[in-house]
Amino acid sequence: MEKKEIWTISEITQYQKIKPVSYELLARGRTLADELAVPLSAVVLGSAVTENDVTELIYRGADKVYWVNHEQLARFIVENHSNVMKYLIRSYQPQIIIAGATTQGRTLMPHLSVRLETGLTADCTDLKIEKESGLLLQVRPAIGGNIMAMIKTQEKKPQMATVRPKSMKILPRNENRKGKVIPLDINDFLFDGRVTHLGYQKSEEEEVNLSAADIIVSGGRGLKKKENFALIRALAKQLDAAVGASREVVDRGWVSYSHQVGLSGKTVNPKTYLAIGISGAIQHLAGMKTAQIIIAINSDPQADIFKIADFGIVGDLFEIIPLFKKKLKKKRLYS
């Protein structure tokens, strides 16, 4: 029997460039495909994606790329993308499909799962293969992030999941990797003319792009009150960093949910993560533990955050932060 492929769904910017989350999915899919000894394929739906960009997916871990360019795919419209994906899935019958837990992935995958009459596990933090059955084990937070649920789709195929961005490091680029790019022509009847793209408007709310930040300064309960969170904002501004927060700080209304890092917030993977006044609850650690450098400031020497920190400072944050800021004025921490 032919071994069925694992698919990742690549995402495209409005400028027809491949988004980094597409490479993260390949890193995740590569591990699964190697364990099952099956090909790993990426699916690219766009209107003017270049061959060089498609080949980059091979360099980043794909064995095959199914490549569709059509003017109707210039913008993400769920009906159009879902129609094309359903057609491709019926034609090639992959056993597993993973997409990013992004706005696009969270819109497309539920739409597809209903039409394919199969299961979908959303917002996964980890994916594994069950040795006995070869089924996909889909791990995600449940009950407000207080437990980790392990889910599998036993009766239906394909098995489908969305994965949190920044939960997996991109594989090193390897131009020696060989793969197959498969350009595909799509019939116009697959496109739904009832929905059209009228325009794009940014949200008027504060934009917090934690997932793309190189440096994140996060504050926790140790700041004691809402007014003291200004210390985090000021330090973040000085470091040209994004502002993060623990769940408890968000629950207390000190900052908006868009700043929350953790299982019930955003999963991040910055170059540097500063955890200030954060004890290190397991839900928070799971959302930032892949940061390249973790710096923790806490008055409790037994705080769990120190177990994963590369650099730890035990002391009063209200004394340490001003010293930190003073040093930064003389010499920036990063070259």
User: Of 45, 2, 31, 163, whose CA–CA distance to 97 is shortest?
Assistant: 163
In a domain, 204, yes or no: no
- Cis peptide preceding 158, ω within 30 of 0: yes
Cβ contact 278:217 at 8 Å: no
User: Looking at residue 243, what is its pLDDT?
Assistant: 94
Model pTM score = 0.73
pLDDT at site 204: 43
Whether 242 and 161 map to the same domain: the answer is no
Spatial separation of the C-alpha atoms in residues 2 and 159, rounded to whole Å: 17
What are the structure tokens assigned to 5, written together?
Answer: 């492929």
**Same domain assignment for residues 151 and 22:** yes
CATH of the domain at 268: 3.40.50.1220
> If we measure between CA atoms, which residue out of 199, 196, 235 comes closest to residue 218?
235
Q: Is residue 199 part of a domain?
A: no
Domain count, the chain: 2
Q: What pLDDT score was predicted for residue 200? A: 74
Instruction: Examine residue 114 and state whether it is found in any structural domain, yes or no.
Output: yes
How high is the pLDDT of residue 265? 84
**Is the domain of 120 the same as that of 177?**
yes
Written as tens digits, the pLDDT of the chain (335 aa) is 457 999 999 999 888 999 999 999 999 999 999 999 999 999 999 999 999 999 999 999 999 999 999 999 999 999 999 999 999 999 999 999 999 998 899 999 999 999 999 999 998 989 999 999 999 999 987 766 667 889 999 889 999 999 988 888 899 999 999 999 999 998 888 998 888 888 777 654 445 678 778 999 999 999 999 999 999 999 999 898 999 999 999 999 999 888 999 877 888 889 999 999 999 988 899 889 888 899 999 999 999 999 999 999 999 999 999 998 888 876 654 44
pLDDT at 208: 62
- N- to C-terminal Cα separation, the chain: 55
Query: Which residues lie closer than 8 Å to 145 by C-beta, 6 or more apart?
Result: 247, 262, 263, 264, 283
Residues forming beta bridges with residue 321, ordered by sequence position: none
Q: Which residues face 46 on adjacent strands?
A: 69
Does residue 261 sit within a domain?
Answer: yes
Cα gap 315→277, rounded to integer Å: 10
Give the residue from 190, 222, 248 where a domain finishes.
190
Q: Is residue 203 part of a domain?
A: no
Q: Does residue 246 share a domain with residue 157?
A: no
pLDDT at residue 263, as a whole number: 79
Domain boundary residue, one of 160, 190, 220: 190
Which pLDDT score is estimated for 314? 95
Task: Flag whether 205 is in a domain.
Answer: no
Q: Indicate the DSSP class of residue 228.
A: G
Which structural domain range is residue 316 located in? 210-330
Q: Is 318 exposed, middle or buried (0-12, 13-18, 19+ CB in 10 A)?
A: middle
Residue 73 is assigned to a structural domain of this protein: yes
